[in-house]
Amino acid sequence: MSTQPYSPDRNAPTWFLVCAACSAVIAFVIQLHALQELVDLPVAEFFRAQRGTTLQQIASFLTQFGKAQFMLVPSLVVFLAFRFRWRRPAWALRAWFVFVSVAAAGIFVDVLKVVFGRTRPKMFFSDGVHHFSYFRFGADYYSFPSGHAVCAMAFAVALAIVMPRYRAISILAGLALASTRVIVTAHYVSDVVASAVIAVVTVLAIRAIVLRPEERASIGLFPDGERAGTVGEGATSKTAKGTRGRTAMTDPITEMIAITVAIASAGLAFSLCIAEWYAPAFQPVPEWWLWSSLFLCCIFGAPLHVTNRPDFAFGWSRR
């Protein structure tokens, strides 16, 4: 199948992208509320009962590697080495992309922690407190979102982008590391889920907005309208071989919104399954909210995934 050349006329209209982004935001708000009521407390109580087990001992060891310095320091060292020692700008840019992704996601989440001020599970265990205290300072009120989880997932997603051959291992490792925050009862499930979503959106936004097209091309970050790893000064035959046959969306911002809507849709489907099979008599949010939100995500998300592929012949009409 031939690849269509990139053209701005193929992009979705701005109003459609805004509607798609809004549908994803609404979906995340609804499903996070559902998770808080249906999943957070039962899962926290379950892992509270697992204290002292081998699972928690392993999780307690692994969760330490979710601290930002374990991602920022190595990526900065790699950047400096490739930039000033070995003079390989493509690899230096890859390391810089990973560093900025983790730093930006971590800083953003630190701000959100203060804004939401959610109490940690240990306060629920001791005092039965389980709520949001907005604009509250103190470590006991920094449960939502999880800083460890967002750094781990931002690092994993950034590595998956710059090293697509190992993306499955990277993403699985990031998910495993993020899940340790729930196992050690430092965070609720919804805290970790929100952190994972924030990490994905932040990394994709940096790739789409911060990096210039020629920079994305030089490190093989699926340049607009071309096959990954086949253009740009820094592209190598190894990269081209590892990404052969895969094409990029025509617009990185469109891709970012489309992936966000897809994640929101998957989360809504999961919430609906829980509401229907696990707790049918208890509905923290009206079921029609979940169905309506899922319908909106499908309406706005599916066209972005289908029509904005370079190998799809149809383009958006501007007439």
HEC per residue, the chain: CCCCCCCHHHCCCHHHHHHHHHHHHHHHHHHHHHHHHHHHHHHHHHHHCCCCCHHHHHHHHHHHHHCCHHHHHHHHHHHHHHHHHCCCHHHHHHHHHHHHHHHHHHHHHHHHHHHHCECCHHHHHHHCCCCECCCCCCHHHCCCCCHHHHHHHHHHHHHHHHCHHHHHHHHHHHHHHHHHHHHCCCCCHHHHHHHHHHHHHHHHHHHHHHCCHHHHHHCCCCCCCCECCCCCCCCCHHHHHHCCCCECCCCHHHHHHHHHHHHHHHHHHHHHHHHHHHCCCCCCCCHHHHHHHHHHHHHHHHHHHHHCCCCCCCCCCCC
Which of 223, 300, 310 lies closest to 262 in space, CA to CA? Answer: 300
What's the chain's length in residues? 319
pLDDT confidence of residue 171: 92
Q: Kindly give, in sequence order, each residue whose CB lies less than 8 Å from that of residue 270, ignoring residues fewer than 6 positions away.
A: 31
Task: Quote the pLDDT of residue 244.
Answer: 37
Q: How far is CA 120 from CA 40, 174, 176, 233, 287, in A?
A: 11, 22, 20, 49, 28
Distance CA(252)–CA(263), nearest Å, equals 16
Mean pLDDT in order along the chain per 10 residues (319 residues): 45 75 82 77 87 88 90 92 85 89 92 90 84 83 90 92 88 92 90 90 83 62 41 41 41 75 79 68 65 81 66 45
Please report the pLDDT score of residue 285 as a whole number.
64
> What is residue 76's predicted lDDT score, i.e. its pLDDT?
93
pLDDT for residue 218: 58
- Rounded to whole angstroms, how far apart are CA atoms 168 and 156? 9
Claim: this prediction has a pTM higher than 0.95: no
pLDDT of 235: 41
